[in-house]
Structure 1
Amino acid sequence: MRASVMQLKVDPAESVAARRERAADRVRALHGSDLVVLPELWTTGAFAYESFAAEAESLDGPTAGAMSRAARDTGVWLHAGSIVEKAPDGSLYNTSLVFSPDGELARTYRKIHRFGFDRGEAVLMSAGREIVTVPTPEATLGLATCYDLRFPELFRALTDAGAQILVVPAGWPARRREHWRLFARARAVEDQCYVLACGTAGTHADVEQAGHSMVVDPWGTVLAEAGEDEEVLTVDLDLATVTKTREDFPALKDRVL
């Protein structure tokens, strides 16, 4: 399975519409990939709290439309990162969108763990409740978002649900970059899965972004890692490695709790 992780720059000087079109064009350039992954809240910026309400969209809004067309045109499974979703009752969610190669919205995931403690996302958005996996012909994807990475129980639940590849779009701040790198590897090792961790570049809302998107194999080896600017990582994943790792080092069988 060929996976491409697209680290995008969130530049406040670029309009959301222009960034949306640019991202769609970059997806279309990735013919030959089976799966393409975009970051968290790349339309607005994960820390641009004051823009959340104004930029909120429905699940058939402009970002979903653009990403659906890009997935169909390219013939890929597209994890289009996340948007600020405005639900029918007016609630806001940090919602990931996954499109099939025919452009259909295959699954959505509403972020369970909201960052900010008593401000920002934690008070502006509602929490998701559902563990979400996406079966594809090549592998089963397990979905999580950014701050979720700090909560290993979610990833164990995704593994129990059959995930072989854990997909984590993020808008992670540079000042905690080493946490990002550590957690991505830890989740891969403890769940014996591939991890595709896709972050943003640039600075928005005065928060410098960590960059350093990563592809990690089930043994914890970093197969590819981006720098701090825009970059695409394309890696061929051998899904037999997941099975072999679990057979050669069957730690998951020794679980007690």
Structure 2
Amino acid sequence: MRVSLIQLEVDLAEPAERRLAEAAEQVRARTGDHLVVLPELWLPGGWDYARWDADAEDLDGPTAQAMSAAARDAGVWLHAGSIVERGPEGAHYNTSLLFGPDGVRRAAYRKIHRFGFDSGEAALMDPGTELVTCPTPYGTLGLATCYDLRFPEMFRLLLDQGTEVLVIPAAWPARRVEHWRLLARARAVENQVFVLACNTAGTQADMPQGGHSMVVDPWGEIVAEAGAGGQVLTAEIDTALVAKTRADFPVLKDRRLG
């Protein structure tokens, strides 16, 4: 499977309509890939809290429509990063969208763990409550977002739902980028899965972003890693390695808790 992580350099000073069109064109350029991944909240900005209410969208809003068309035009599975979803009764969710190569939305995941310690996202977003996996011809995808990466119990539950490839968009800051790199590898090793971790680049609301999107194999080896700036990170992975790793080193059979 050929995967591409589009590490967008988010510039919130650029009009949103232009950035949306540019992201869609980058997706269209990935014809021949099997799975393309965008970062967390790349359009409204992961740290620009003041924009979130005005930029909130329905699940079939402008971002979803543009990404659906781009996925269909490229013929790829597309994890379109996340949007600020306008939910019922004034709720807001940090919601990831997954589209099939026909442009049909196959999954939506509302981020469960919200960052901010009672401020920022933790105060302005409502928590999701459901784990989300999605079968594809290349293996079962398990969906998580950014701060979720710090909660290993979530990934054990995704493992138990059949996850073979974890897809994790993020807006992870530069000052904690080594945590990002460490935790992505840890989630791969402990669950014997591939991890596709797609971060943002640039600066959002005075918060420098960490970049370093990564493709990690089930042994925790880094298959490919981006730098700090905007780029497209492409790698070939063989998802059959998941079953082989679990057979060769059957550590998961020795679980006693959970």
1:75-154 to structure 2, matched below 5 A, reads 75-154=75-154
How much has 1:234 moved relative to structure 2? 1.1
Q: Secondary structure at the match of 2:88?
A: coil
Q: 2:186 aligned with 1:186, yes or no?
A: yes
Q: Secondary structure at the match of 2:197?
A: strand
Provide the residue aligned with 2:56 in structure 1: 56
The CA distance in 2 between the partners of 1:131 and 1:75, in whole Å, is 26
Q: 2:12 aligned with 1:4, yes or no?
A: no
Amino acid corresponding to residue 245 of structure 1 in structure 2: T
Provide the residue aligned with 2:32 in structure 1: 32
Q: Secondary structure at the match of 1:89?
A: helix
The CA distance in 2 between the partners of 1:45 and 1:248, in whole Å, is 42
How much has 1:44 moved relative to structure 2? 1.3
TM-score by length of 2: 0.99
Query: Gaps spanning 5+ residues in structure 1: where?
Result: none
Amino acid corresponding to residue 233 of structure 2 in structure 1: L
The CA distance in 2 between the partners of 1:208 and 1:99, in whole Å, is 29
Amino acid corresponding to residue 205 of structure 1 in structure 2: A
Over 6 Å off, 4+ runs: none
Root mean square deviation, CA, Å = 0.6
The CA distance in 1 between the partners of 2:23 and 2:3, in whole Å, is 16
Provide the residue aligned with 2:68 in structure 1: 68
Amino acid corresponding to residue 41 of structure 1 in structure 2: L
Provide the residue aligned with 1:21 in structure 2: 21
The CA distance in 2 between the partners of 1:47 and 1:132, in whole Å, is 24
Q: Secondary structure at the match of 2:131?
A: coil
The CA distance in 1 between the partners of 2:189 and 2:138, in whole Å, is 21
How much has 1:239 moved relative to structure 2? 1.1
TM-score by length of 1: 0.99
How much has 1:88 moved relative to structure 2? 3.0
Q: Secondary structure at the match of 1:24?
A: helix
How much has 1:89 moved relative to structure 2? 2.2
Amino acid corresponding to residue 4 of structure 1 in structure 2: S
How much has 1:161 moved relative to structure 2? 0.4
The CA distance in 1 between the partners of 2:226 and 2:39, in whole Å, is 13
| Alpha-carbon displacement from aligned partner over 1:165-221 (angstroms, at most 9, x marks no partner) | 000000000000000000000000000000000000000100000000000000000
How many residues are paired up? Answer: 257
How much has 1:90 moved relative to structure 2? 2.0
Amino acid corresponding to residue 175 of structure 1 in structure 2: R
| Alpha-carbon displacement from aligned partner over 1:149-172 (angstroms, at most 9, x marks no partner) | 000011111111001000000000
The CA distance in 2 between the partners of 1:58 and 1:90, in whole Å, is 12
1:161-176 to structure 2, matched below 5 A, reads 161-176=161-176
- Percentage of matched positions with identical amino acids: 66
Query: Gaps spanning 5+ residues in structure 2: where?
Result: none
The CA distance in 1 between the partners of 2:138 and 2:147, in whole Å, is 27
Q: Secondary structure at the match of 2:219?
A: coil
